[in-house]
Structure 1
Amino acid sequence: MAPTAAYDEIADWYENDFLPASRPGDPIGVQRQLDELLGRGSGTCLEVGCGTGVHAAQLKSLGWSPVGVDLSAGMLAYGRSKLPVARADATRLPVRSGSVPAVVAMLVHTDMGDYPAVLREVGRVLDEGGVFIHVGVHPAFCGGFADRSDPAAVVIRPGYLDGHWTKDSWTTEGVRNRVGATHIPLPALFQAVLDAGLTLTGFAEGGSPVPTTLAFRATKVRP
């Protein structure tokens, strides 16, 4: 499991160096997937693992009122200027049950050692009819087992089926070799959504020529 609040050590680098270099355009489709799967709405949208508040402006442009939680005080020091935030463990959200119409998790599930527990909390805090949007690195094509150094010939090595935490990465210029990543195979990820009482209602992928991200929408329906 990744160290507690690992992002505290890289918060300055992440906000001031990594983000400016990685943000031009929407190369892996993260903004597009959020637009398509969440869409326009109103009311509170809770972002779990909000970090420095990268997605707050887009959520506001869609009509939502974003609030965020994150474990890293260093990341929240940047995020608090962009949205209301609270420092909290995503497996124990400081949010009343059935109180929010939307929750999003943006490129964070590999940072969380127990994402199924996070999904159970998402199911708890969502109102009936509420939606959850997950946008994450693609379980089948991104991980310690995936060599993406040649975009035209991505190599998948043994290890996909092994849920694990690792700092192995195909690049030394990104986040994963600094804070590590927890890998969840695709069937386990989808099963955790169902176990949280959510119904999968939409999917999208981003990045090319091999997908980099997998996104889905899930809805909380009456039992």
Structure 2
Amino acid sequence: MGTVPAYDEIADWYEREFLGGLAADDDPLGIGAALRLLLGPGSGPCLELGCGTGAYAEQVRALGRTPLGVDLSAGMLRHAAGRLPVTRADATRLPVRDGSVPAAVAVMVHTDMPDYPAVLREAARVLAPGGVFVHIGVHPCFCGGFADHTDREAVLIRPGYLDTYWTKDSWTDHGIRDKVGAMHRPLPDLLHALLDAGLTLERFTEGGAPTPIMFAVRARRPA
């Protein structure tokens, strides 16, 4: 996960400026709606992979679940520690027992994880039989180095969607990708990675406008 030093360097900016400008009830990408629809109410621990600053902990808690966070960036965890219990660890090698958690989520982090298929295999390993995993991330079809969002009403799609690559190309200098880079995988590759991890796909949703910016999946470890 080569972006970790970069996230350590931008942790304060991420907390205070990137997220700090959002009101508590703002949900422009539909992330909260996706959590309610796909994760849903429940009880017991919910492991968040790549929890960052813990920005989604309260939304998980509002569903009756107990959020627990894992991230490799000490800088991000410094902000997260006041929001949920956290540990510093690599998401491809989780310090969690096999079959021990009823739920896990990965929210807006898959592009930060070059080996996301290995992360998904770890998620499947730590889930209890019948446990639910929710992936929420930038939409592979409309977000990436190939997508120009300069005109907010008409996204321009250039060649490159079908490739798998790491890039810092960005249409704006106010976001994340130009600072830490992002891994792009086409939608079929992402779905295949979930299936190859042994998870069963159940439901999907999208969010954002004018074209979807967020794509989310609920999957389950077979009982």
Question: What TM-score do you get using the length of structure 2 for normalisation?
Answer: 0.97
Instruction: Provide the C-alpha distance between the structure 1 equivalents of 2:5 and 2:90, rounded to a whole number of angstroms.
Output: 10
Superposition map of 1:12-23 within 5 A: 12-23=12-23
Does 2:163 correspond to 1:162? Answer: yes
Alpha-carbon RMSD: 1.1
Matches within 5 A, 1:70-149: 70-149=71-150
Instruction: Report the alpha carbon displacement of residue 117 of structure 1 after superposing the two structures with TM.
Output: 0.4
Contact 1:167 1:179 survives alignment (8 Å): yes
Once residues 73 and 3 of structure 2 are traced to their aligned partners in structure 1, the CA distance between those partners, rounded to angstroms, is 11
Task: Find runs of 4+ consecutive structure 1 residues off by over 3 angstroms.
Answer: 1-5
Instruction: Tell me, in whole angstroms, the C-alpha distance in 1 between the residues paired with 2:4 and 2:14.
Output: 17
Report % sequence identity.
64
SS at match of 2:18: helix
Give the equivalent residue in structure 1 for 2:40: 39
1-side partners of 2:220 and 2:74: how far apart? 30
SS at match of 2:95: coil
Following superposition, the deviation at residue 152 of structure 1 comes to 1.6
CA shift, 1:208, in A, is: 1.2
SS of alignment partner, residue 46 of structure 1: strand
Greater mean alpha carbon deviation, residues 16-25 or residues 147-156: 16-25
Any idea what the Cα deviations from partners look like across 1:182-206, whole Å, max 9, x if unmatched?
A: 0011111000000101000000000
Q: Which moved more, 1:4-13 or 1:199-208?
A: 4-13
Distance in 1, matches of 2:17 and 2:152, equals 23
Contact persistence 1:2–1:182 (CA under 8 A) = no
CA distance in 2: counterparts of 1:68 and 1:157, whole angstroms: 36
TM-score with structure 1 setting the length: 0.97
CA displacement, residues 46-105 of structure 1 (integer Å, 9 cap, x when unaligned):
000000100111111110001000000000001011100000010000100000000000
Deviation at 1:2, TM superposition (A): 3.8
Cα 1:79/1:213, change in 2 over 3 Å = same
1:54 aligned to 2:55? Answer: yes
CA distance in 1, matches of 2:170, 2:57: 28
Distance in 2, Cα, partners of 1:5 & 1:220: 33
The whole-number CA distance in structure 1 between the counterparts of 2:165 and 2:108 is 17
Describe the superposition over 1:126-178 as per-residue Cα deviations: whole angstroms up to 9, x where unpaired. Answer: 00010000110000000011001112210111111111111011111011110
Say whether the 8 Å CA contact 1:18–1:174 is kept in structure 2: yes
The answer (yes or no) to whether the contact 1:113–1:182 under 8 Å persists in 2 is yes
Task: Find the counterpart in structure 2 of residue 218 from structure 1.
Answer: 219
The Cα of 1:5 is off from its aligned counterpart by 3.8
Residue 148 of structure 2 aligns with an amino acid whose one-letter code is: D
